[in-house]
Chain A
């Protein structure tokens, strides 16, 4: 079974630029999560989707971050414009329907904002 796929793996941009990350969850997984992990800290949930609907985006900085999950499969997370403090690893995870106790994580995208 293929795992959660993310791209790109690494991205370097300058502040005020825009960036987008892509995630393809495990086939059939209805729930998709985006996390931000700053160096030396644990992951922090940014947004949770159930199919293509948003369940929780309470910690998403909506003035600059946006996310969508069209057709309830792939998802993209965008930052516009980026700030220095957005430098982090962005992790995508997914859970199967009815079994949201366990999350399966992708390898993450490491973002560096200069």
Chain B
């Protein structure tokens, strides 16, 4: 079963704009991760945020985590055409830290 639900399901923006994707989950987590999947390819790990962290940055990526609301957001700043991909959140639940449960994904389209 899917743990996370991403919102929106699809997002279309122009190059240079910021993109924000949200993820909600249901159970207590050890950590939450974001992955990118280009069409026809495998998933690439972007960033991990632990349950005791509230915000994390990596290059143009900013992730927030609100455990009280069981939600996370991924912000991509100054988007590029190469950011076009599907983005998935994945949760590692308390007690089964190596087992990831993926959400349904957000399809991001960045146009020139």
Residue positions of A touching B, CB distance < 8 A: 4, 31, 40-45, 48, 55-56, 91, 93, 95, 100-108, 110
Contacts and interface: CB of A to CB of B under 8 A. Distances in A.
Contacts of A44: 2, 102
Contacts, number: 58
Contacts of B40: 107, 110
Given A42-B88, A91-B42, A101 B105 contact: no
B100 interface: yes
27 contacts: A4-B42, A31-B98, A42-B2, A42-B4, A42-B103, A42-B104, A43-B43, A43-B102, A44-B2, A45-B99, A48-B98, A55-B98, A56-B96, A91-B43, A93-B43, A95-B98, A100-B98, A102-B48, A103-B43, A103-B45, A104-B45, A105-B35, A105-B43, A106-B42, A107-B40, A107-B41, A108-B42
Interface residues of B, number: 25
A42 to B, nearest CB: 3
